[in-house]
Each structure stands twice: as structure tokens, then as C-alpha cells.
Amino acid sequence: MTPLAQLRLRLTLWYAGVFTLILGLLGIGLFVAVRHQMSRQLDLSLEGATAAVMRAARIREAERAPQGAVVDAVEELHVPDRALYLFDDRGRPITPPRAEAWMQSAALEAARTGRADRSIETPADHVVRLHAERFTGASGAVYVAAAVADVLELESRYASLIRAFAAAALAALLLVAGGSYLLVRQSAAPVERSMDQMRRFMADAAHELRAPVTILRTRAEVALGQSRDSARDAVAFQAIEREATRLGQVVGDLLTLARADAGERPIAQVPLYLDDVAAEAVEAVRTLAEQKHVQLEVGGFEEAKITGDPTLIRQLLLIVLDNAIKFTAAGGQVRLDVSAEDGRAAAVVADTGVGISPEHLPHVFERFFRGDPARHAADGAGLGLAIARWIAGAHGARIDISSTPGTGTRVTVSFPVVG
């Protein structure tokens, strides 16, 4: 299992574990709350049953002879799942004629204090709940009405509640586990892409650095193995200088991108004019254009005030101009225009070079990408446009490339204008 897969698995287990803990705490809290509420409802039900006994007894006692009327009232009254009792003021059972000792004790307590509540565990491992209240009949006699219920009905409700909650919790846990895995995969996708890009970047960097290092070493070994000759040594030193320069450029570009990725490159934000920076960039590459016999033209140059880092913006324009000259054959043309309209300042570089094929155009900003053989054979490591895109993004600018193979390429860098 790869380290990233292990990370995904651990995160999924963490998510599932935390959710299980939350469900457990929620279940305990819910169980306690429901149990309290059910117990309260049972007590209210017993109080209602004793109240019904008292009402029936008073009514029947007023209608008929005292003792028999009260007994008949209790015997005729029926409350589902409740056992009803009637005691005298000394706690002795009137109806039913027999009652357990703990019930008589509760009735005697109620006769003295007005009410009593008891819970007791039976030999059959059932918990029985009793509520008793004292009342005075129509004849003035004092009685105690009692109602008894088996708490087993509460336990059965608890069990059904627990089963329902456990089933719901299990289903929720499975959903959360699946959702967590998908979420972790989605969240880890950028990390995985970054790791893949890093591995590819390191591999490409090693490949680009290997060639000049190998050439430098080979040239030095050959020069050392030959007898000294000033002309021959001069050629060797020139070749070594070229490769060292190329190696320095690659290392410098890599360092620039590394600092950009780490956010360590400070970016100045000062007012400047894009047309002035563009003019400096044109002068910097004019010698290269003359060496390649490429015509370098300056078109419209409108005053365009922007905010940014002059050094970085100059570097961006140099990269674009250098690419345009590099991939334009002798006798070709490179043109630079600067305009300002609709709140944007744009520098447009158009050339009549080899162009870029449509399948390669979406990848031109990727690091070390050089596309077709004509571009791959040119000097450079394929890092320039990646640096240009970073500079543009750091200044809130857009960089767009359109190209037709064999006709030329057009690069537009658009900055927001400041007042």
C-alpha cells in the first residue's frame, strides 16, 4: 500500500471513529432523556388511574350504601395494563381483598402523608411501580386509592428504541464511512497531483541538468587528456562556457520556480508604465534578433500605468520576446504592441515563427514542456513560460497564447490599469 493510500485509510478511520464517538454520546444522551420522559409518563399514567378510582368511588358512594358502593366502583373500573387497589385509612386492602405487604406499607404511608410512590423488584425480575393517594369519600370515610404498573412495558420500549437507534446508527456509520472515503479521496486528489507534479518536476530537472553536466565533464576530460594547444584549448573553454551558462540558466529558473512555489519571492507593488518596461525589454533582445536576422518591430505604444514589480514584469516580457525570436526563422518578423483600453493594459507579442500545434498549445505553460521537435531542439529547458505564467498570476494579469502551425504565434499579457 502506498503512503498516500495509507493516509487516505487513516483519515477515513479517523472520520468514522469520531462520528462513532459522536453517535455514541448522542445515543446515551437520547436514551437518558427518553427514559426520563417515559418514566415521567408512567407516573402521570398511574396518577391518572388513581384519580379515576377516586372519582368513581365518590360517585358510587353518593348513589348507594357506602361500603359496597365503593367496592363496586373499583371492581367495575378498568384501566388497561394497570392494577387498581382500594385501601382503608390503616392500609388494609378493601378491594381486591388481598395485597402484598409492600403495597399495604405504601398505602399506610399514603394514608398518613397524602401520597406515596414505590418501585420494587419482583421475584420474576420485574420492576413494579406503585402510586397511592389518600382521599375522602362522600360519607366522610378516608380511603387510599392505588394503581400499579409493570415497568416491563418501559423496558420493552427501551429495547425497541435501542434497536431502532442501533440500526439507524449502523446505517449512518456505513454512509459516513463511504462518504468519508470519497471525501478523503477528493481532498487528497490535489495532494496526489502535487506529489505527481513534484516527482515529474524532479525527474525533468535531473534530465535537464544531466546533459550540460555530462558535456562539461566530457569536455574537461578531453581537454585534460590532450597536449596544450592554445587554439584547441580556446574552443574547449568556449564550449565549457556555453554549457556552464546553460546550466546556470536552468538552475536559476529552477530556483525562481522553487521560490515562487514556496512564496519566498517578494513581489514589489510600485506604480510603473508598461510601455516603458516593454521598451527596455525590446532593447535587451534587439541584439539577439539581429544575430538571427529577425526583424524586431515596435508597433503602437500607448501610455499604460500599472502596479507591479518592474524586474519581474521585465522578465516576463523578455521571456515572451526571447521565445518569439528563438522560434522565428531568419527573415521573419516579431512585433510588440502596448495598448490600454477597457481598464486593461495589454502587451501583445506576435511573430511569424513555426507556431504551436493545437495538441501542444494547452501544455505550453507546463514545466519542461517543449512540444514538437523544432521547439525541443531549441536552447532552453522549457521553464520560461512557466515562470511567465507565475509572474502574470502574481500581478493579477492574464497571459493568453494563440498560434497557427507554420504561420506564427500571438501572446497577449493583460494587466489591470491603475488610475
Q: Which residue has the higher pLDDT, 237 or 99?
A: 99
What average pLDDT does this structure show over 317-328? 90
Q: Is there a contact between 315 and 281 (Cβ–Cβ < 8 Å)?
A: no
Cα separation, 182 vs 178, whole angstroms: 6
Q: What's 157's DSSP letter?
A: H
Task: With respect to residue 39, please indicate whether it lies within any of the assigned structural domains.
Answer: yes
DSSP per-residue codes, 129-156:
EEEEEEEE-TTS-EEEEEEEEETHHHHH
Split into its structural domains, the chain has a count of 2
Cα separation, 414 vs 336, whole angstroms: 13
Cα separation, 253 vs 135, whole angstroms: 99
Q: What is the pLDDT of residue 337?
A: 92
What average pLDDT does this structure show over 104-111? 90
Confidence bin at 119 (pLDDT 50/70/90): confident
Q: What is the pLDDT of residue 238?
A: 79
Amino acid identity of residue 194, one-letter, is: S
| Burial class of residue 341 in the structure, from the number of CB atoms within 10 Å of its CB (0-12 exposed, 13-18 middle, 19+ buried) | exposed
Instruction: Count the Cβ atoms, other than its own, within 10 Å of residue 54.
Output: 20
CATH value at residue 358 = 3.30.565.10
pLDDT digits (tens, 9 = 90+) for 387-419: 888 888 888 899 999 988 888 999 999 998 886
Task: With respect to residue 33, please indicate whether it lies within any of the assigned structural domains.
Answer: yes
Q: What is the pLDDT of residue 333?
A: 93
- Looking at the fold, whether 153 and 276 belong to one and the same domain comes out as no
C-alpha count within 13 angstroms, C-beta hemisphere, residue 47:
10
pLDDT digits (tens, 9 = 90+) for 268-311: 889 999 999 999 999 999 988 999 999 998 888 888 889 988 88
Beta bridge partners of 270: 308
- β-pairing, 270-273 vs 127-136, is unpaired
Q: Is there a contact between 59 and 115 (Cβ–Cβ < 8 Å)?
A: no
SS3 labels along 309-375: CHHHHHHHHHHHHHHHHHCCCCCCEEEEEEEEECCEEEEEEEECCCCCCCCCHHHCCCCCCCCCHHH
Q: What is the pLDDT of residue 171?
A: 81
Task: With respect to residue 376, please indicate whether it lies within any of the assigned structural domains.
Answer: yes
What average pLDDT does this structure show over 61-75? 62
DSSP per-residue codes, 39-95:
HHHHHHHHHHHHHHHHHHHHHHHHHS-HHHHHHHHHHH---TT-EEEEEETTS-EEE
Cα separation, 276 vs 314, whole angstroms: 10
Judged by average pLDDT, the poorest of 23-37, 168-182, 242-256, 308-322 is 242-256
- Looking at the fold, whether 14 and 147 belong to one and the same domain comes out as yes
The share of the chain scoring above pLDDT 70, in percent, equals 81
Cα separation, 363 vs 277, whole angstroms: 28
- Looking at the fold, whether 9 and 146 belong to one and the same domain comes out as yes
C-alpha cell at 355: 507556431
Task: With respect to residue 166, please indicate whether it lies within any of the assigned structural domains.
Answer: no
pTM confidence score: 0.50
Task: With respect to residue 396, please indicate whether it lies within any of the assigned structural domains.
Answer: yes
Cα separation, 369 vs 343, whole angstroms: 33
Q: What is the pLDDT of residue 251?
A: 73
What average pLDDT does this structure show over 372-392? 69
Task: With respect to residue 92, please indicate whether it lies within any of the assigned structural domains.
Answer: yes
Res. 265: pLDDT tops 70? yes
Res. 377: pLDDT tops 50? no
Confidence bin at 70 (pLDDT 50/70/90): low
Beta bridge partners of 295: 333
Domain range for 375 is: 270-416
- Looking at the fold, whether 287 and 146 belong to one and the same domain comes out as no
Residues constituting the chain? 419
CATH value at residue 82 = 3.30.450.20
Question: How confident is the prediction for the chain on average, in pLDDT?
Answer: 80
Task: With respect to residue 103, please indicate whether it lies within any of the assigned structural domains.
Answer: yes
Among 127, 158, 189, the domain-final residue is 158
- Return the CA Rg of the chain: 46
Among 106, 136, 158, the domain-final residue is 158
Q: What is the pLDDT of residue 154?
A: 62
Among 126, 158, 190, the domain-final residue is 158
Confidence bin at 57 (pLDDT 50/70/90): confident
| Cα 344 off chain centre by | 35
pLDDT digits (tens, 9 = 90+) for 170-227: 787 778 777 777 777 777 677 666 666 666 666 656 656 666 677 677 777 777 777 7
Task: With respect to residue 54, please indicate whether it lies within any of the assigned structural domains.
Answer: yes
- Looking at the fold, whether 154 and 276 belong to one and the same domain comes out as no
Q: What is the pLDDT of residue 301?
A: 85
